[in-house]
């Protein structure tokens, strides 16, 4: 399988896992939906978990690139970008294919703290905190690390409520709370 076919397999598997969940998506379905035989899949990924890890790496890269770019497009100051995160989330929540956070789902399905999938899901969140902390530091906030963690908690809560309520109101509510925290 060429690198481009491998990348396409990961991209299509990402959509399947995001839509259906990790445990509910069997390798037979992955093969059928991607058009790649199970034999070919297993030549590149020894286990389903290896494929899931590749999917999470792609989702991490795509999501962070999208979120950071939207934050920069929506605001030109570090503090403004931290608040704009919630506007970007609201846009995501309104998309037809919004199904919540893939990393929250991964950690819920692979709960053991030393499981590679759980660890990779948490690593995604830590990368977000690192970025938020850098912005908080640039914004001159008194405790950038605490502010970054609080914003992450708001962000994650907004995502969960949006997925459960099927509305974007949690993004607006979280932004109002963030404004108070950053004041």
Model pLDDT for residues 115-138, shown as the tens digit of each residue? 999 999 999 999 999 999 999 999
The CA dihedral of 64, 103, 52, 26, to the nearest 10 degrees, is: -130
The model's pLDDT over 12-65, given as tens digits with 9 standing for 90+, comes to 999 999 999 999 999 999 999 999 999 999 988 999 999 999 999 999 999 999
CB neighbourhood size of 169 (10 A): 13
The rounded Cα 176 to chain-centroid distance in angstroms is: 22
- Spatial distance between the Cα atoms of 157 and 134, rounded to a whole number of angstroms: 21
What CA dihedral angle connects 149, 150, 152 and 154, to 10 degrees? 170
pTM of this structure: 0.93
Domains of the chain: 55-182 (1.10.357.10)
């Amino acid at each position: 399988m060429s690198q481009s076919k491998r990348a396409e397999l990961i991209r299509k598997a990402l959509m399947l896992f995001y839509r259906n969940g990790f445990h509910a998506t069997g390798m037979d379905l992955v093969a059928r939906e991607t058009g790649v035989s199970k034999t070919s899949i297993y030549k590149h990924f020894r286990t389903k978990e290896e494929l899931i890890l590749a999917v999470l790496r792609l989702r991490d890269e795509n999501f962070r690139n999208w979120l950071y770019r939207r934050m920069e497009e929506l605001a030109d100051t570090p503090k403004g970008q931290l608040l704009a995160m919630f506007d970007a989330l609201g846009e995501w929540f309104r998309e037809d294919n919004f199904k919540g956070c893939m990393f929250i789902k991964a950690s819920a399905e692979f709960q053991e703290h030393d499981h590679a999938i759980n660890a990779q899901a948490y690593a995604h969140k830590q990368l977000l905190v690192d970025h938020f902390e850098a912005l908080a530091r640039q914004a001159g906030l008194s405790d950038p690390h605490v502010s970054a963690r609080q914003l992450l908690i708001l962000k994650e809560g907004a995502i969960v409520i949006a997925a459960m309520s099927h509305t974007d109101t949690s993004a607006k509510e979280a932004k109002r709370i963030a404004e108070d925290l950053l004041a």
